[in-house]
């Protein structure tokens, strides 16, 4: 069981000369729960973008279960077993939670099977089970646009699980949640970690304490250090670049800067 | 729990089936009304207009699929519509009595063509022509769609490309006097299956066929949009890149929908041509393609009934108003579009479904407190309400 699920070698991504990721090396065992932290602009979101195929590496390579991801499009990578949750919850607002989950759960995602195949009862049962897990059973058939922020976060985590991926990438799952919701999200992630490999990106240090086993610190596009929460917290370099400003973490950094850095555009021409 | 869930599921399925049956009943009733009652109510002239507008409703359904559901604003459906019209018109132009002096469509002799161009040959066959009515526009749409969607061109850029297609085809068809009679288009149809095309009885048959085709097209679109496929279209419209990360490749879905939409436009064009007796490059005018979008916007995007109602309503308004005040129609049409965009962004049907319903309840006294729906359905709130009083 000790094979590597994800290996990243000498990864560099540059946008017009700006190196969002710089010679980054990273690897992760199957079944691991890893938390990635780092100050704003450290390249955390770009890191996820590269793994999911949204951004192609300028140099270096990303291996998922030993396969180089470079030549695969986003949907192919998703089908290989990588699921991603976005920073701001991205669920389909005009569909109900049940429909959201059913779309993700669909086993055969090509055009004609989606059109002609009836939803098997096994998938329906999975969806009902998931709705219960994320606590949305009683809201399963109203539009997702009417859910609260926390419920949307949970719905999106549910969509990830419905995809039954091997590797979950979770970008700031507790941004904008109450303390109690944050705690419950932590519990949920911990229970998911029993059967999945998970990478969590997070700012909220209390939350990181709750779930972290092994922490990777990113800074200026490279891995600054790696280790348990304790080791990381006492590493002088980390204190200098990140925890020094932020060590009590009463007020987590707003993800605004990160959001600004995330490349989004209405016209995507490859 | 699981037994309970299956029971509940079965209940939902049953309720769904029942509402589907009711809907089918309503649609059948409306179709029968159009076939048997409407001809008694309308004069011959108005009835023939109704037939034409019903065929326009078919293309409106196609636009609704691609725009209302999938979020791709096509401004080139006029071309797909015209191609369907040309396909059936070519078949009609080849219905030449064996006794005629020339076995070519009359405009060809006029321009000195002595032999039927090769691409006219298969149109002798009705089955081929009928297939061509759907397949030629569908294939063109699929080809354009594939090239555009594969390169992830979206939004306004897609609309501009479809407009460019309109101009290219408009100019090409305008310029080909010898092949397809250029600007004049194909007209002056004689017989179809041995009967006079322009005879009232034939025209009535066309009307009935159009009504039936609207029903078939509606049922087909309803099927497409109601299942998982339809929900995926909505998902693509709302957040395409999320769809990719869920493991779907949107390209194939969009190409298929665009092709289906093209086929519907082709059918509409053919029925329209049969009832107006002419198809010319004018149908590829950009203004006409934009008009189609207006019908759907007025009726209600992402509502199939809305598309049909919009097409009928706007066209009847157009014909009535332009009879009375021919010069103001265009202003009115522009004003109508502005009004819909600003006041009724989800169209007439969208408005009826939400505010209209509320208004109706208010008027009839069945007033319901309008609150945030999450509150209405939240079990915790429900519990508090019961225990603490309102």
pLDDT tens, residue by residue, A56-103: 999 999 999 989 999 999 999 999 999 999 988 899 999 999 999 999
List pLDDT tens digits, range B236-289. 999 999 999 999 999 999 999 999 999 999 999 999 999 999 999 999 999 999
List pLDDT tens digits, range A166-190. 999 999 888 888 899 899 999 999 9
In a domain, B66, yes or no: yes
What is d(CA B271, CA B117) in angstroms, rounded to the nearest whole number? 25
Q: Count how many domains chain B has.
A: 1
**Whether B207 contacts B51, CB under 8 Å:** yes
Nearest-10 crossing angle of helices A97-105, A149-162: 20
**Closest CA–CA distance from residue A147 to any residue of chain B (Å):** 7
In a domain, B142, yes or no: yes
List pLDDT tens digits, range A106-115. 888 899 988 8
Query: Residue A256 has what pLDDT?
Result: 41
CA-based radius of gyration for chain B: 24
- Percentage with pLDDT > 70 across chain B: 91
**Closest CA–CA distance from residue B268 to any residue of chain A (Å):** 24
Nearest CA in chain B to A78: B247
Q: Is the pLDDT of residue A263 over 60?
A: no
Q: Work out how many CB contacts closer than 8 A connect A with B.
A: 107
Nearest CA in chain A to B69: A94
Give the DSSP letter of residue B118: G
Residue B11 pLDDT level (bands cut at 50, 70, 90): confident
DSSP A110-155: SHHHHHHSPPPHHHHHHHHHHHHHTT-GGGTTS-GGGS-HHHHHHH
Query: Residue B5 has what pLDDT?
Result: 58
Tokens of A237: 């370099």
Q: Residue A116: how many CB atoms within 10 A of its CB? A: 10
Strands (E), A172-245: 197-201, 214-219, 222-227
Give the one of A90, A114, A147 whose C-beta lies nearest to B228's C-beta: A114
DSSP B296-325: HHHH-TT-HHHHHHHHHHHHHHHHHHHHH-
> Is residue B389 within 8 angstroms of chain A, CB to CB?
no
Q: Is the pLDDT of residue B368 over 70?
A: no
More confident residue, B367 or B235: B235
Q: Residue A42: how many CB atoms within 10 A of its CB? A: 26
In a domain, B46, yes or no: yes
What is d(CA A31, CA A190) in angstroms, rounded to the nearest whole number? 11
Contact A114 B235 (CB under 8 A): no
Which among B145, B247, B303 is the top mutation candidate for probing chain A, defined by the most A β-carbons within 10 Å of its own β-carbon?
B247
Residue A247 pLDDT level (bands cut at 50, 70, 90): very low
Q: Is the pLDDT of residue B226 over 70?
A: yes
Tokens of B339: 């009004």
List pLDDT tens digits, range B39-59. 999 998 999 999 999 999 999
DSSP B271-297: HHHHHHSEE-GGGG-HHHHHHHHHHHH
**Closest CA–CA distance from residue A66 to any residue of chain B (Å):** 20
Give the one of A76, A92, A125 whose C-beta lies nearest to B238's C-beta: A92
In whole angstroms, how far apart are CA B31 and each of B41, B218, B256, B299, B350? 15, 11, 28, 19, 23
**Whether B208 contacts B35, CB under 8 Å:** yes
Q: Which residues in chain B have their CB less than 8 angstroms from residue A146's CB? A: 372-374
In a domain, B348, yes or no: no
Q: Which residues in chain B have their CB less than 8 angstroms from residue A78's CB? A: 244-247
Residue A2 pLDDT level (bands cut at 50, 70, 90): low
CB-based contacts of B385: which residues, under 8 Å, 6+ apart? none
Q: Parallel, antiparallel, or unpaired: how do β-strands A197-201 and A33-37 relate?
A: parallel
Query: Residue A42 has what pLDDT?
Result: 86
List pLDDT tens digits, range B316-350. 999 998 888 888 888 888 888 888 888 888 889 98
DSSP B354-380: IIIHHHHHHHHT-------HHHHH-HH
Which among A8, A1, A110 is positioned nearest to A69, based on CA atoms?
A: A8
Which among A91, A92, A142, A167 is the top mutation candidate for probing chain B, defined by the most B β-carbons within 10 Å of its own β-carbon?
A92
pTM: 0.87
What range defines the domain where residue B182 resides? 42-289
Residue B17 pLDDT level (bands cut at 50, 70, 90): confident
Query: Residue A266 has what pLDDT?
Result: 38
CB-based contacts of B229: which residues, under 8 Å, 6+ apart? A114, A115, B253
> Is residue B73 within 8 angstroms of chain A, CB to CB?
no
What is d(CA B239, CA A185) in angstroms, rounded to the nearest whole number? 24
In a domain, B102, yes or no: yes
CATH of A4-81+165-265, one of 3.40.50.300, 3.30.1370.60, 3.20.20.60, 3.40.50.2020: 3.40.50.300
List pLDDT tens digits, range B136-146. 999 999 999 99
Q: Which residues in chain B have their CB less than 8 angstroms from residue A92's CB? A: 231, 234-235, 238-239, 242
In a domain, B319, yes or no: no
Within chain A, which residue ranges are assigned CATH 3.40.50.300? 4-81+165-265
List pLDDT tens digits, range A11-54. 999 988 888 999 999 999 999 999 998 888 888 889 999 999 99
In whole angstroms, how far apart are CA A166 and each of A145, A191, A193? 28, 14, 10
Mean pLDDT of chain B, nearest integer = 89
């Amino acid at each position: 069981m000790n094979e590597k699920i994800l290996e990243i070698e000498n990864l560099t991504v540059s946008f017009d000369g700006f190196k969002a990721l710089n010679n980054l090396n990273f690897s992760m065992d199957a079944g691991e729960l890893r938390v990635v932290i780092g100050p704003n602009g450290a390249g955390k979101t770009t890191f996820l973008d590269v793994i999911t195929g949204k951004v192609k590496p300028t140099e270096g390579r990303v291996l998922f279960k030993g396969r180089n991801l470079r030549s695969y499009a986003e949907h192919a990578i998703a089908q290989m077993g990588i699921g991603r949750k976005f920073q701001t919850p991205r669920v389909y607002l005009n569909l109900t939670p049940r429909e959201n989950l059913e779309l993700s759960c669909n086993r055969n995602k090509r055009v004609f099977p989606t059109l002609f195949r009836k939803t098997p009862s096994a998938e329906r049962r999975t969806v009902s089970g998931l709705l219960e897990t994320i606590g949305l059973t009683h809201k399963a058939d109203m539009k997702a646009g009417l859910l609260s922020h926390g419920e949307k976060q949970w719905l999106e985590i549910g969509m990830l699980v419905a995809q039954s991926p091997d590797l979950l990438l979770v970008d700031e799952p507790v941004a904008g949640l109450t303390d109690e919701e944050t705690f419950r999200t932590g519990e949920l992630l911990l229970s998911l970690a029993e059967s999945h490999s998970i990478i969590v990106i997070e700012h909220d240090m209390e939350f990181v304490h709750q779930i972290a086993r092994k922490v990777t610190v990113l800074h200026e596009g490279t891995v600054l250090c790696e280790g348990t929460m304790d080791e990381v917290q006492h590493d002088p370099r980390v204190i200098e670049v990140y925890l020094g400003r932020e060590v009590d973490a009463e007020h987590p950094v707003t993800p605004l800067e990160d959001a600004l850095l995330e490349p989004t555009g209405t016209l995507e021409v490859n | 729990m699981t037994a309970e869930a299956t029971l509940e599921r079965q209940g939902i399925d049953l309720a769904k089936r029942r509402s589907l049956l009711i809907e089918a009943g309503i649609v059948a009733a409306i179709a029968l009304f159009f076939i048997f009652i409407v001809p008694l109510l309308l004069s011959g002239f108005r009835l023939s207009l109704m037939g034409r507008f019903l065929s326009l409703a078919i293309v409106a359904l196609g636009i609704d699929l691609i725009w209302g559901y999938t979020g791709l604003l096509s401004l080139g459906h006029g071309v797909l519509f015209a191609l369907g019209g040309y396909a059936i018109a070519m078949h009609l132009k080849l219905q030449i009595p064996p006794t005629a002096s020339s076995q070519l469509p009359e405009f060809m002799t006029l321009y000195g063509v002595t032999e039927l161009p090769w691409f006219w040959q298969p149109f002798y066959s009705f089955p081929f022509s009928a297939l061509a009515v759907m397949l030629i526009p569908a294939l063109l749409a699929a080809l354009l769609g594939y090239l555009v969607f594969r390169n992830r061109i979206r939004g306004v850029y897609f609309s501009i490309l479809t407009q460019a297609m309109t101009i290219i085809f408009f100019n090409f068809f305008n310029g080909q006097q010898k092949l397809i009679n250029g600007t004049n288009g194909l007209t002056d149809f004689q017989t179809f299956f041995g009967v006079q095309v322009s005879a009232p009885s034939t025209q009535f048959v066309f009307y009935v066929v159009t009504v039936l085709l609207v029903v078939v097209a509606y049922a087909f679109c309803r099927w497409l949009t109601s299942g998982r496929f339809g929900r995926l279209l909505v998902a693509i419209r709302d957040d395409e890149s999320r769809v990719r990360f869920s493991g779907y490749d949107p390209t194939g879905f969009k190409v298929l929908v665009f092709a289906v939409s093209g086929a519907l436009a082709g059918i509409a064009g053919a029925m329209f041509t049969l009832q107006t007796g002419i198809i010319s490059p004018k149908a590829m005018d950009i203004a006409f393609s934009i008009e189609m979008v207006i019908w759907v916007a007025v009726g209600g995007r992402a509502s199939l009934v809305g598309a049909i109602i919009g097409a009928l309503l706007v066209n009847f308004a157009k014909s009535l108003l332009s009879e009375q005040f021919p010069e103001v129609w265009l202003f009115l049409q522009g004003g109508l579009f502005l009004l819909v965009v600003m006041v009724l962004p989800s169209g007439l049907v969208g408005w009826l479904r939400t505010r209209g319903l509320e208004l109706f309840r208010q008027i009839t006294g069945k007033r319901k407190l309008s609150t945030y729906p999450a509150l209405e359905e939240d079990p915790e709130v429900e519990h508090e309400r019961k225990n603490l009083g309102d």
